[in-house]
Structure 1
Amino acid sequence: MQILQLDQNNKHQIAIFSFLSALIIYIFVFGFELTHFSLSIDEEFNNNILHTVAIGRWGHALLKASIYPEPFIPFFTEILTFILLAASCTVIVKIFCLNLNQSLFFTVLYASSVQFAYQLQFLNQCDTLATAILLSSVAVYLIVRKNSFLHTVIFPAFLICYSIAIYQSLIFLPYSLLIAYLLIDEVRGTENTRHLKLITALCISSVIGLILYFVLGKLILIYYHLQTESYLSNIVTWFNESPGESLKKIRRSIEHYFTLKAPYGLNTFLIAFLFLILPLLYPLKRKARYGFYVLLSILTLFCMNIVVGKGLPARTMTSFAVFFASAGLIGFIIIRKNKYLWAVAAFSFLYGMACSSNLFYIDYIAYNKDYRLASFIASDIAKEIKVSPDVPVKVYFFGAMDIKRVNRPNNSDMFGASFLNWDSGNSVRISAFMNKAEIATIIPASYADIKSDLNTVYAAPVWPQKGSIFQIKDVVVVKLGQSVGYCPNGVKENTIPKQCL
């Protein structure tokens, strides 16, 4: 089937066509987020550089401290992200050596994956994450398409090092890409004896990259005079629960993808799985090896779940787009009369646009709801202490407002979350949100400022009742809930009480 009047095998034309196609698809699929700005959780802080260094994302911090806007620029950050992701799609097309039709089919599936909505929700890091995906893709391209030790081991090691310094779970993305390449190789029946060599090169590059990552991370922590925040160890259940319980949680989290209970928008996993096992029904030359690669591909997709010993949010499924699009491509290659498969591409595009728009619409509604309530709170503060709303005020927000999330689909992670009750009440987040949205000028007070007068706080009614806003010394207290939140000082982003006190 000839889609456009382009040379089916002209590599330069195909690369340009893939890039432009992916860019256009991203703009359509994530168009609502592009045109309807809203603040989501973690987007309220103006500077996350020291925090990201402390949790091991020093690659992100270096980009933000140098060439990328910190924390973000609405519209520009999204467009930059789409350009970087479209470039990664182009690199993958070159890795797989696709012709025009194959590249278009792959591009539609890759760029319309809803998984990236869960990353795009965090504008403060989506551009750096897209950079990391591009770097990982280039690393695999060098391993597959070059022959020298410098190109297949050393350069990829540096690229892998920097990509995981941006987002740690991306350590598994190069493996998903390489396994996808090997699967496609098997389907094509290519007499390729380099498989073991390619896997070995990636393993060596990954080890070198990880060593560099940890060494450089330590040096950067010393430079910034910071202590590491054990972000990963805090969520690993293997350390706190029995192996049996952890295995049960892993099994349950993987089962969700096979039983249409995956995170919202990711039930296309089942389509990918069917495409992956389809070639086993055909007379492949090396069917056993293909089956082994399929198993590796699925395990790699769920590697983060296996590492931490439980189910994880959709934003950690960084290999999903590659998994889904590569599986569809395999079906496209093996089914010779594949014109009907364009319906799958059309479905993926429409499904991706619908799910993504719904998710970001939920965030948009939640943001406007928070904005409206926070504006009322700011107005009440100004009336209570008799100052202009523009005057800086030292405030502590105690507890979490009893506010339900907006109507949202099941398993949609942080979409629709409210700043007014996140972390069961986080004063620093609420203050940052109100400052960022220009609702008020809040000087964040600490828990220590009000701790000695907790009896007064507990005795007060909850906002918007009269008496819910009062002063303790020089601090205005706004009581939003009956009990203090998980992070009284608002220092940590996680919700483990003992780490926030």
Structure 2
Amino acid sequence: MLTRQSTIRPAINLFAIFVAMYFSELASFSLSVDEELAAFRTDASIWIIQGRWGAYLIEKFLIPHSVMPLLTPAVFGAGCVAAYLLVMDAIGKQELSIAEYACFAIFCGFPSWFFIVEFYSNIAAVGIGLFGTALALWLISKEDTSPHSLRFLGAVAAGGFAISIYQSFAPAILVLGIAIIILQARAGAGKSLGRGLLHTVFLLIGAAVFYALGNAISRSFVPGSNAYFESLSQPGFLFQHPVVVIGRVAEAIGGIYALNQSTYGVALWAIPLLLILGGWALFQEAPRTRVFLTAAAFVSLLVPFGLHFLAAGSMPVRSLVGVPIAVWLFAYIAVTSRNSRIRVASAILLAVALFQIQVVQNYRQASSYLVDKHDTLLAGAIYDRLSAMPGFDAKRNYAISVFGSQPFVTNYPKPPDSTVGHSFFEWDGGNPGRIAPYMRLLGYSNLMAPTPDQIDRTVVHLSLMPAWPAPGSVEIQDDIALIKLGETPSYMYQQALARLANR
């Protein structure tokens, strides 16, 4: 078992690797869509409505204002480091070699993580959830742990709390459990394969029950619903359109594991090759259980997509927290293979993969930087135009009614399942409920979102105004600022036009 003295230096080294992988994220403060709402949030109960009561507790008592630079991604990094050290201890690694350090970069920096790291309001809690996942499996990894022991009950509580932070940690528990079982078996240690897998399943069931109890208790105090969250649950769609769902899941798997460029916008051809080499190395090294272990390893690649089948085949990339663990498993097996040829080839591929991941990260950072500049300048230009309107009073509050959007165009990749590279002035087709709080964050504190009645009162006139940046694209009517950014109305304004047409 790792002792306090034996973990300090590895922890420092691992965190240094995390900093290298996420330096651009740690050194900047680029707001993503949704952060403009989270920055003004005073009631964390939104997490309870989404079934994430653990995230509620973290925001309520630990990080009440999570939209901040440096700290929240650093907490995520600390969670990654602590989780990795627990995993290394579970598989019997007393000292970390270059291979363990190099593979940590995949564990914490596989690009599917980037889709949640872009949200300051989520990432610290996710780091804690990853630690809880690893802690649960570390607690049951010893041979003398039975489902009736206090150690096992502690594992259930840790796993349940991880799920309460993000429900996607449920499949991640299974993925990491499979990884630990495979690596223990490969080293000739740990529980028997069947017993280890059975205990992991018991842990997952117990953690799910613990989560459900906490969810029932918290929801009794905070009733309500979330349309977006509930839209992700469509189990009936699978039975009505199974071929469509399977096709969507297959497409998602291909994008996530870099079989195409649809997810990251950049080719990561080294990743599929690493997966192949890792699978081949495992098949070679376990003559008696090669089929079982290799099959279990490839199943771990599919487990993170289990929730896709309940969501009509589509889930956000940020929800796939088990994917980096599965990819890490294959990379680790490959670079520590007993076959020298596989080991050398895998080391080269791992170096290439890490470089490609940095390309993805830096492309995202470039897009974030440029869209931030665009939005800051556009917000200032709109406010300057407003302040030049006759009758404008800087001490007076104005609701802004915004028609259309102002897209940000860049030659850098804009991943379709990410907010990176997307402007606050284009999201939702131009949503004043987002634009107003974003501008307030920049210091334009007298701007508010419009009421439905104010939208109805202004939508027809807005539709006839010229679009930005033409003269006349900004007006003031009493306490409402009218801004036309584009010719195509958002869904909200389409509904307003339809309501008026039906009167």
1:199–1:152 Cα change, 3 Å: farther
The answer on whether the counterparts of 1:143 and 1:156 sit within 8 Å (CA) in structure 2 is yes
Taking the TM superposition and a 5 Å limit, the aligned residue runs for 1:408-447 are 408-409=412-413, 411=415, 413-447=418-452
| One-letter code aligned to 2:402 | F
Alignment counterpart, residue 19 of structure 2, candidates 17, 23, 27 = 27
The alpha-carbon deviation at position 336 of structure 1 amounts to: 5.0
1:167–1:191 Cα change, 3 Å: closer
Aligned position for 1:203: 201
Alignment counterpart, residue 85 of structure 2, candidates 90, 100, 125 = 90
The alpha-carbon deviation at position 341 of structure 1 amounts to: 4.6
| One-letter code aligned to 1:104 | Y
**Superposed CA offset, 1:19-39 (max 9, x none):** 222211111111112222211
Taking the TM superposition and a 5 Å limit, the aligned residue runs for 1:482-493 are 482-487=487-492
| One-letter code aligned to 2:313 | K
The answer on whether the counterparts of 1:60 and 1:165 sit within 8 Å (CA) in structure 2 is yes
The alpha-carbon deviation at position 345 of structure 1 amounts to: 4.3
Alignment counterpart, residue 469 of structure 2, candidates 460, 464, 481 = 464
1:250 aligns to 2:254 (yes or no): no
Aligned position for 1:498: none
Gaps of 5+ in 2: 496-503
The answer on whether the counterparts of 1:108 and 1:345 sit within 8 Å (CA) in structure 2 is no
Aligned position for 1:107: 104
The alpha-carbon deviation at position 402 of structure 1 amounts to: 3.4
1:30–1:281 Cα change, 3 Å: same
1:54–1:267 Cα change, 3 Å: farther
1:313 aligns to 2:308 (yes or no): no
| One-letter code aligned to 1:408 | Y
Aligned position for 1:119: 116
Which structure's relative contact order is higher, taking Cα pairs within 8 Å and 6+ residues apart?
1
The alpha-carbon deviation at position 293 of structure 1 amounts to: 0.7
The alpha-carbon deviation at position 100 of structure 1 amounts to: 2.3
Taking the TM superposition and a 5 Å limit, the aligned residue runs for 1:351-430 are 351-387=356-392, 389=394, 391-409=395-413, 411=415, 413-430=418-435
The answer on whether the counterparts of 1:25 and 1:112 sit within 8 Å (CA) in structure 2 is no
Aligned position for 2:499: none
The answer on whether the counterparts of 1:43 and 1:71 sit within 8 Å (CA) in structure 2 is no
| One-letter code aligned to 2:260 | L
Aligned position for 1:129: 126
98-107 or 156-165, which deviates more: 98-107
The answer on whether the counterparts of 1:29 and 1:112 sit within 8 Å (CA) in structure 2 is yes
Distance 2:109 2:20 in 1: 9
Distance 1:14 1:115 in 2: 31
Distance 1:476 1:66 in 2: 38
Taking the TM superposition and a 5 Å limit, the aligned residue runs for 1:7-26 are 15-26=7-18
The answer on whether the counterparts of 1:25 and 1:111 sit within 8 Å (CA) in structure 2 is no
Give the TM-score taking structure 1 as reference length.
0.87
1:191–1:463 Cα change, 3 Å: closer
SS, match of residue 140 in structure 2: helix
**Superposed CA offset, 1:317-353 (max 9, x none):** 2112211222111123333544665434433443333
| One-letter code aligned to 2:261 | K
The answer on whether the counterparts of 1:450 and 1:472 sit within 8 Å (CA) in structure 2 is no
SS, match of residue 100 in structure 1: coil
Percent identical = 16
Aligned position for 2:145: 147
The answer on whether the counterparts of 2:401 and 2:454 sit within 8 Å (CA) in structure 1 is no
Give the TM-score taking structure 2 as reference length.
0.86
Aligned position for 1:58: 53
430-439 or 372-381, which deviates more: 430-439
Q: How many residues align?
A: 479
240-249 or 175-184, which deviates more: 240-249
Aligned position for 1:77: 72
Aligned position for 1:454: 459
SS, match of residue 125 in structure 1: helix
Alignment counterpart, residue 306 of structure 2, candidates 294, 303, 306 = 303
1:95–1:12 Cα change, 3 Å: same
1:39 aligns to 2:31 (yes or no): yes
**Superposed CA offset, 1:277-302 (max 9, x none):** 21224562211211321232122132
Distance 2:453 2:488 in 1: 15
Aligned position for 1:3: none
1:440–1:381 Cα change, 3 Å: farther
420-429 or 161-170, which deviates more: 161-170
17-26 or 361-370, which deviates more: 17-26
The alpha-carbon deviation at position 388 of structure 1 amounts to: 5.5
The answer on whether the counterparts of 1:187 and 1:334 sit within 8 Å (CA) in structure 2 is no
SS, match of residue 120 in structure 2: coil
**Superposed CA offset, 1:193-237 (max 9, x none):** 53333333332332233233233223323323x312254441345
| One-letter code aligned to 1:121 | E
1:284 aligns to 2:284 (yes or no): no
The alpha-carbon deviation at position 144 of structure 1 amounts to: 0.9
Distance 2:153 2:471 in 1: 66
The alpha-carbon deviation at position 141 of structure 1 amounts to: 0.6
**Superposed CA offset, 1:440-485 (max 9, x none):** 5312222222314432232222232233323444322222233542
The answer on whether the counterparts of 1:469 and 1:479 sit within 8 Å (CA) in structure 2 is yes
SS, match of residue 288 in structure 2: coil
RMSD of aligned Cα (Å): 2.8
